[in-house]
Chain A
């Protein structure tokens, strides 16, 4: 079991730049989730996929955020025109049907 893999682990970018994160879920898992976590807070739901279909998006997910899972395997989360408020840990999780989520170790984004 290789677990959920996220890359990069850390990303520092300047305000206004675009960033893209990648998540590789556990291979047989059909559901994939993106969460955002700020210091001292619990993870906040952003969006989730069942296979390649994006089934739900949070109101937190502004137009600058887009997520894809083109072949139902890995997923990417892109943030355009980053703002300082986007600084957070971005967590990816996967699950098989209704079984518990398995999280990766996240990508920590710092916007300067």
Chain B
């Protein structure tokens, strides 16, 4: 069935270090992927997206990598800051649908 999972439920990093959050997806027909950040009491906030015809996309301090061969997605955050502390979700959209499937999430804790 369709599922998007994450390898690590909690990730702790030192302020200033780089963070890498991983995600595995199961639907090889998915053609669009998004990373969201969710802070306590708020809805998910869009961070960055990538289409299946790309393997890397960069934003401000964030980079998403897509490996379709092993159905793996990662989010890299450079120079992690205290404000980056949140739960991060990856989501995929199976080709031909407009439904987004979310994973369980990884909690990122930034240590001062």
| Binding partners A and B | yes
Interface residues of A (CB under 8 A from B): 4, 31, 33, 35, 40-45, 48, 50, 55-56, 91, 93, 98, 100-106
Main secondary structure of the interface of A (DSSP, over half): strand
Closest 6 CB pairs of A and B: A103-B43, A42-B102, A105-B43, A43-B102, A100-B46, A103-B44
Task: Determine the distance from Cα of A93 to Cα of B43 in the docked complex, in whole angstroms.
Answer: 9
* Binary CB contact string for chain B from 14 to 53 against chain A (1 if under 8 A, 0 otherwise): 0000000000000000001010100001111110010000
Selected from A50, A103, A104, the residue in CB contact (under 8 A) with B98 is: A50
Selected from A43, A56, A102, the residue in CB contact (under 8 A) with B97 is: A56
Q: Number of contact residues on B: which range applies?
A: 20 to 34
Interface residues of B (CB under 8 A from A): 4, 32, 34, 36, 41-46, 49, 89, 91, 97-105
Cβ-closest chain A residue relative to B90:
A42
Tell me, rounded to whole Å, the shortest Cβ–Cβ distance linking B98 to chain A. Answer: 6
Cβ-closest chain B residue relative to A89:
B43
Task: Determine the distance from Cα of A105 to Cα of B36 in the docked complex, in whole angstroms.
Answer: 13
User: Assuming A50-B98, A106-B42, what are 17 further A-B pairs, CB within 8 angstroms?
Assistant: A4-B43, A31-B98, A40-B105, A42-B91, A42-B102, A43-B89, A43-B102, A45-B99, A45-B100, A45-B102, A91-B44, A93-B43, A98-B32, A101-B44, A103-B43, A103-B44, A105-B43
Do A41 and B104 touch across chains, with their CB atoms under 8 A apart?
yes
Residue from B42, B97, B99, B103 with most neighbouring chain A CB atoms (10 Å): B99
On chain A, the residues within 8 Å of B91 by CB distance are: 42
Selected from A42, A100, A104, the residue in CB contact (under 8 A) with B89 is: A42
Do A102 and B46 touch across chains, with their CB atoms under 8 A apart?
yes
Residue from B32, B46, B49, B104 with most neighbouring chain A CB atoms (10 Å): B46
Do B43 and A106 touch across chains, with their CB atoms under 8 A apart?
yes
Do A43 and B34 touch across chains, with their CB atoms under 8 A apart?
no
Do A91 and B32 touch across chains, with their CB atoms under 8 A apart?
no
Task: Determine the distance from Cα of A33 to Cα of B93 in the docked complex, in whole angstroms.
Answer: 13
On chain B, the residues within 8 Å of A44 by CB distance are: 102
